[in-house]
């Protein structure tokens, strides 16, 4: 029996019961296992050693940048902090900005989700709206009140752009997605491709235009019960297939 492809999942640095901890919520790990992958949690430190990071990446078949309640430090894209932007994770920022180019150099499948989507944009020189709800003409994309089932329920449509990764994976030009984010793409990073947009025009999915393998990041949360949602399902199937081929 062949071993499952090994997928690195970026951790968040948080205080847990008074101790600095590296953590990933279960929904990401469970979704990866459901689609035939073996996830491993990758710890994050601000003083990233590039050589050590490269050696770590070399052991993996894929990389996942998860969502988080923290945000990329505004200084990384030349902005001042907005009052609504209250939570950072500089250790994770440093790790993500190091790992993304290393993974792309190795043609490694990469999946970014929510914060991971924003990390990919910043890694390519893009910038972020720190409070989308305050931008004229934009919807309020923050998570709804209620239980998890309500928070992760689809709330708005996306338009899938032709010719990209999503269009190859999904049979349809539109789909409904959930929305649990305050930040979003302001200036798109150079070399990135828009894969989908929300009704207000906000970019909802991006890919690396010249990537030779699966490199996709989405602003919503497809890890929430992916097998029950056709779009989320094909995203994880596509990522899993790419990791298996990379192995």
Q: Which residues are catalytic?
A: 114, 221, 223
Contact criterion met (CB below 8 Å) for 100 and 80: no
The DSSP bridge partners found for residue 203 are 197
The distance in angstroms from the start CA to the end CA of the chain is 14
Closest C-alpha among 217, 33, 193 to residue 114: 217
CA separation for the pair 130, 221 (Å, rounded): 19
């Amino acid at each position: 029996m062949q071993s499952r492809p090994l997928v690195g999942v970026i951790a968040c640095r948080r205080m847990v019961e008074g101790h600095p901890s590296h953590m990933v919520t279960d929904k990401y790990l469970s979704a990866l296992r459901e689609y035939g992958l073996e996830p491993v949690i990758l710890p994050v430190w601000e003083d990233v050693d590039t050589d050590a990071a490269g050696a770590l990446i070399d052991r993996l078949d894929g990389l996942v940048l998860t969502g988080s309640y923290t945000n990329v430090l505004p200084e990384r894209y030349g902005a001042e902090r907005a009052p609504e932007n209250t939570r950072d994770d500089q250790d994770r920022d440093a790790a993500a900005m190091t790992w993304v180019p290393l993974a792309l150099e190795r043609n490694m499948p990469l999946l970014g989700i929510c914060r991971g989507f924003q990390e990919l944009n910043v890694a390519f020189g893009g910038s972020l709206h720190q409070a989308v709800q305050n931008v004229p003409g934009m919807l309020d994309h923050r998570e709804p009140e209620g239980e998890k089932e309500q928070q992760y329920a689809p709330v708005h449509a996306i338009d899938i752009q032709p010719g990209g990764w999503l269009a190859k994976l999904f049979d349809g030009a539109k789909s409904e997605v959930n929305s649990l984010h305050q930040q979003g793409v302001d200036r798109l990073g150079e070399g990135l491709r828009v894969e989908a947009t929300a009704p207000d025009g906000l970019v909802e999915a991006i890919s690396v235009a010249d990537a030779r393998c699966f490199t996709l990041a989405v602003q919503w949360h497809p890890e929430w019960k992916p097998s029950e949602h056709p779009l989320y399902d094909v995203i994880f199937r596509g990522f899993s297939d790419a990791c298996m081929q990379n192995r």
